[in-house]
Amino acid sequence: MLHALTTTLTLRGVFFTLFGALMSVLTFYGIWKCQQKSMQTNDVIQRWIVVSNGIQDTGFVLFGTRQLDLAVSHS
């Protein structure tokens, strides 16, 4: 009887350990997926800086929170 009880408790512990790990993985995946969707939305947003002569400077473009600063020659 004691052996059966010990086996049952051990299996129950293994089940809850695996279940807890699975829930952690699913939670992490959900957070990651939401973050990816948010980044895709932000990458589309671009802000243009207008230089003093009225021409848009395409070398200075903001992508969400990341900034791309390239030298542009104005001949």
Structure confidence by residue, pLDDT tens digits, 27-73: 888 888 877 777 665 554 555 555 555 555 555 444 544 444 555 55
Residue 1 and residue 35 in one domain: yes
Residue 33 or residue 7, greater confidence: 33
Q: What is the pLDDT of residue 67?
A: 46
What is the pLDDT, as a whole number, of residue 4? 61
Alpha helices in the chain (DSSP H): 2-44
Q: Are residues 15 and 29 in the same domain?
A: yes
Determine contact, residues 47/61, Cβ cutoff 8 Å: yes
pLDDT of residue 42: 52
Identify the pLDDT of residue 14: 74
Residues 29 and 54 in one domain: no
**Domain interval for residue 60:** 45-75
pLDDT at residue 39, rounded to an integer? 66
Contact of 58 with 74, CB cutoff 8 Å:
no
Closest C-alpha to 38, from 13, 62, 64, 12: 64
Residues 65 and 36 in one domain: no
Q: Check whether residue 35 and residue 54 sit in a common domain.
A: no
